[in-house]
Structure 1
C-alpha cells in the first residue's frame, strides 16, 4: 500500500487518489445520497469516486466548464461535498449554500455570484409560498436533483454522461465559495483557493497525532453541514488517516442516529453544538447506551454547553474519554484546540471556573495576540482585548465584498471580532463577541452557568444592552419556565431582566446551529443598541 500525501491532491481527484492507495474503508450513510439512483447506504471509496465522476459528467452535460460558477443548494448530506468535488474536477467553481438558508438569504447570494447553473431540488425551489421561478431566475439554467420541475434540467437524464478530462484549478485560482453563518444578516461568501484549503487547512488536519486523531480501528461518525469548508478538511483527514469505518449522518434526529449507532458503535463522533443538544436524551439512556464505546467527542463551530459535554463524557465507558474542542473561523480554519476530560467536566459544575478556555494556537501554524480595540496595541496577559490571528490558512477574501474583508484585515493579522484574555501559559480564554461585550463580565460564561443549572432541553441567550441588565431569552421544551427553577439558576449571578420564554424549536438558528441573536433583538428588544461597536461581525 502506498503512502500518499492526499492533502496535495485536488478535491476533484481526491477520491480517485485514495482509491488508488488500496486501503479498505467503509462508509455507512444515515440515508441514501440524493445523487444516487440505486439508493445505497453502504459504500467504499471507489464507489464514491465513481459518484464524483458521474456527477462531473452530469454537470458538464448541463453546460458547466472551467471557470464557470455553479450553486449547490440542497438538503444536507455528504453529496453536497461530492457535487462540489465533481465541479472542481472539471475546473468549475462551486458556490455552496446550505439548504437551511431561507430564500431571503439565497436570492441576494445568487444575485451576487450570477451562477451559470443552480443545482437544487423541487422542495427547495418550490417551497411553501414560493414562486417556482424565484430562485431559478438568478441562474442561466437549473438542474433539479429529483426531477419533475418545469423548465429545469433533470439530473437523472444527465447522470452517467461521459466524464470529461479533469481540469484542476491552479493553486492560486478561486476554487470554491462557502458562506458564513449569517448571524448578523446576509451571509458573506468566502473565497478558497487550492493553496489555502488543501495546502494549509487540510494539511493541518492530516497529521497523525495519536490519540487525538483517527486510528485504523476507529468507527468515525460525522454530523455537519456538508457545504462548509470544515467538511472538506475533515474528509482529507479521514481519507489520509484511514479509520476502518465512517458513519455519515445527514440529520441528527435521535430517531435516525439511534439505530445507526446501535448497529455500528462509534469510537469518535464530531458534530455541531445543536447536534449534541438534540442527541443528549439519547446519551442519557442507560439500557441502550450508543455512546459507551466513544473515546473522543469533537465539537466545532461554537462551544458546546458544559452540561452537554458532561452528559456525553459520562455516557462513555472508555477509561479516559476526551472532548476535543476546536477554535477557529471559516476564514482562517483552526486557530486553537483544547481538550476536556471527564474529571474536568464534572469538576466544572462544582467550581464554575471562569470564562471558557479555547486552547493554545496551533504550533508552527498559528499566532494569536490580544490588542486594545481602540489602539490595536497589544495588552498584557490577563487583560481582555480583541483577538487577532495570523495564519497562512487565511482565505483570500469575501466574494464581491472587498470592503467587508478589508475591515477585518490588519496587515498579516485577522481580526476575529472576539474579545478574549491571553494567559501566561499562552492559552486563550474567550469572553464574548465584541458586539456583545460588556467590560467586567463574560456573558458567554453566564450563559454556560445558567444552562448548567437548568434541566436538559433548556438553552439561554443573553442579550446585553448599554443601559440596563441583559435580557435572557430562555428556550424550553414546552415554552414554559418554572419560576422557582429560574430563581435558583440566577442565584449569585449578575442581575438580569425578566426572562423572555420561548419553545426550544423557536430559537432562531443558522445552518450551523448558532443562535441568531440579531433576530432575537428584533423580536424582543425593539432595536435596542449593542454594548459593542459591531464593526467586526
Structure 2
C-alpha cells in the first residue's frame, strides 16, 4: 500500500507540509493589530471593534489578571456566548501565559462545579445572568475571582440602554454586582487596567493554551490538553486548505460557539491570524442568522449540518441574499449530500465536510473545497502533516484498503493528553497513534469513510452528548429501576437523545415529570427528547444492557417509514 496515497490528490496550492510559526497564539493578535490597526476585527450586534481596540483590551485584561495573581500555567475559565468579551478574555488569558478553560454557559451547577474543581481554575469570567449559578458553587472550587460582564457592555447606543429591559423580560432577573472583593466588573477593568505588554517564558511545544472538556462513555468528562503548538498547527493547516481566501479581505460568520473547539479554531483564531472580520452571534436563531448574512456579507461560514438545514428550510429564505458565502467547512456530524448540493445551489459557495475531534484541535481530515470534490459518503483526506490509518484492535499496522477498523491519527494537532488522567491518556494512544474510537475504512485513493462510532457518544445539533452522564442522573430518580440512553436518528438534529426506562414495581412517572427532573440536573441540549417505558431492556448473558440493539431497532423503524412513504 502506498504511504499517504491522498497526497497525490492535493491541489498544487495546498502544501504537503507546512513550516509552522513557533509563536504563542496571542502573537497573531499583536501582528494583526500592527498590520490592520483600524480595520474591524469584531462586529457585534451593530458595534464594530478595531484590531487595535481588540488588542489593547486583551492586554488590559491580561494586566488585570496579573495584578490578581494569575501566573503562567494558571487556569482561567470563560463562560460566555460569542461576544467581544469572550474574544478579549481569550487572548488576554493567553497574554498572561495562563490556560483557557472554555465552559458552556448552559452548564448546570453540578456540571459547572465539576469542571471548575477538575481544572483548578483560579478565576472565571461570565455573564451577569449566570452570576447566581457561579456563586452557589464557588466554595466547592479553587475559584478566587469572578469577573462579570453583560451583553449590554458592548452594544451600541441605544441598544445598550434598551437591553436590560429585554433581559429582564426574557430571564426575569436583573443582576447587580459590585466591583469589590472577589467580584470584578469587566467594564471597570477596561477603565483602570493598562494596555501594556506582558512577558513570560514561552515554550512552543509544551505550553498549554487550552483545557477543552470532552466526555466519555466511561467516567466523567476529561480536560483535553491542547498546546499552543497544537492549535497553531491546526489553524495554519486550515489556512492552507482555504487557499483561495485572502488575508484581511474575508468576513467570518461566528455562529459556532467559542466554547466548542471548532468555533474557537476556525473563527476566533483563524480570523485573527488572517486579519479578517468576525461577525459574532451570541444567541443563534435562524432568522437572525439570515438577516446577519444578508447585511454583513460573510464569505466564510463554518458550521454544522443542523445550522445549514435550518437556514435552507426557513420560510423566509427567499427574502435574504446569501451569495456572499465563499466557503463553508461543516463539522460535528455527517453532511448529507443532498444538503451540500442544495446549500451550494442557494449560495453559490462551496460546502464541504470535515472530520476531527476535540483531541485533534479539532480538524484532521476534510474534503477539498474547490477542486477534486467530494467522493460520495467520504469525510475526505488527511490535512497537511497529518497521517491517518485504519487499524485493528491490537496493532497500529494499517488494515487493507476497504476493511473496517478504528481510525487512528498522528500529527502536530493531536493533543498532549488528558488533564491529570495519565491512565486515560495511555489508553488513547498506541505507539504514538491517537485512537479516535470511530470505526471506518479507507479506499485506494486515500479517502476516509466513517462507518460507526466505537464509542456511544451522541451528536445532536453539533453538541457532543455522553449517555453515561444522563444515565447516572436518571438512576438517581427513585422510580427508575433500569435505564439506557442512546442517540436515535433525527431528521433535523442528526441524532436526538432517547431514554429507555424500566420502572420499579409499583412506581409511576410521566414523561413531563422526567423532563422537569432532568432539566434541573443537565444542560438543556443533554435532556432526553424521547422516552420509552419498557418492562425489560435487552441484555447480554452477563447482564450488560445492549444499547446497540436499541439503536438498531430505531434505525429499522426509520427505514420502514421510508419504505411506506
TM-score, normalised with respect to structure 2: 0.68
Selected match of 2:121 from 100, 115, 135: 115
Is 1:42 aligned to residue 48 of structure 2? yes
Q: Aligned with 2:379: secondary structure?
A: strand
Q: Which residue of 2 aligns with 1:338?
A: 367
Q: Which residue of 1 aligns with 2:482?
A: none
Is the contact made by 2:36 and 2:51 (CA closer than 8 Å) also made in structure 1? Answer: no
Is 1:16 aligned to residue 30 of structure 2? yes
Q: Which residue of 1 aligns with 2:415?
A: 395
Is the contact made by 1:81 and 1:232 (CA closer than 8 Å) also made in structure 2? Answer: no
Distance in 2, matches of 1:344 and 1:236, equals: 26
Distance in 2, matches of 1:112 and 1:230, equals: 22
Q: Which residue of 1 aligns with 2:212?
A: 179
Is the contact made by 2:216 and 2:222 (CA closer than 8 Å) also made in structure 1? Answer: no
Distance in 2, matches of 1:520 and 1:312, equals: 28
Distance in 2, matches of 1:220 and 1:408, equals: 34
Q: Which residue of 2 aligns with 1:300?
A: 331
Q: Which residue of 2 aligns with 1:56?
A: 62
TM-score, normalised with respect to structure 1: 0.71
Structure 1 residue 205 displacement after superposition: 2.8
Q: Which residue of 2 aligns with 1:289?
A: 320
Distance in 2, matches of 1:314 and 1:342, equals: 17
Residues 166/232 of structure 1: CA separation in 2 closer, same or farther (3 Å cut): farther
Out of 88-97 and 183-192, give the one that drifted further: 183-192
1:320-373 per-position Cα deviation (integer Å, ceiling 9, x unaligned): x3212221112123211114789989xx9xxxx6xx30111124x111111223
Out of 215-224 and 10-19, give the one that drifted further: 215-224
Which one has a larger percent helix, Structure 1 or Structure 2? 2
1:211-234 per-position Cα deviation (integer Å, ceiling 9, x unaligned): 3x4465443323212134434533
Q: How many residues align?
A: 446
Is the contact made by 1:72 and 1:97 (CA closer than 8 Å) also made in structure 2? Answer: yes
Is 1:143 aligned to residue 157 of structure 2? no
- Unpaired runs of 5+ in structure 1? 32-39, 438-442, 448-456, 464-469, 478-500, 533-537
What value does the CA root-mean-square deviation take over the aligned residues? 4.1
Residues 164/293 of structure 1: CA separation in 2 closer, same or farther (3 Å cut): closer
Selected match of 1:362 from 383, 390, 394: 383
Q: Which residue of 1 aligns with 2:304?
A: 272
Is the contact made by 1:29 and 1:248 (CA closer than 8 Å) also made in structure 2? Answer: yes
Is the contact made by 2:237 and 2:383 (CA closer than 8 Å) also made in structure 1? Answer: no
Is the contact made by 2:145 and 2:184 (CA closer than 8 Å) also made in structure 1? Answer: no
Structure 1 residue 431 displacement after superposition: 0.8
Distance in 2, matches of 1:175 and 1:392, equals: 14
Structure 1 residue 183 displacement after superposition: 6.4
- Unpaired runs of 5+ in structure 2? 1-18, 151-174, 468-485, 494-510, 538-543, 550-565
Out of 201-210 and 253-262, give the one that drifted further: 201-210
Structure 1 residue 207 displacement after superposition: 2.8
Is the contact made by 2:41 and 2:272 (CA closer than 8 Å) also made in structure 1? Answer: no
Distance in 2, matches of 1:315 and 1:106, equals: 41
Q: Which residue of 2 aligns with 1:530?
A: 547
Is 1:86 aligned to residue 117 of structure 2? no
Residues 257/236 of structure 1: CA separation in 2 closer, same or farther (3 Å cut): same
Distance in 1, matches of 2:272 and 2:92, equals: 17
* Structural mapping, 1:192-341, within 5 Å: 192-198=226-232, 200-207=233-240, 210-211=243-244, 213-214=245-246, 217-234=249-266, 235-243=268-276, 245-282=277-314, 285=316, 287-316=318-347, 318=348, 321-333=349-361, 334-339=363-368
Distance in 2, matches of 1:280 and 1:342, equals: 24
Is 1:189 aligned to residue 210 of structure 2? no
Structure 1 residue 14 displacement after superposition: 2.7
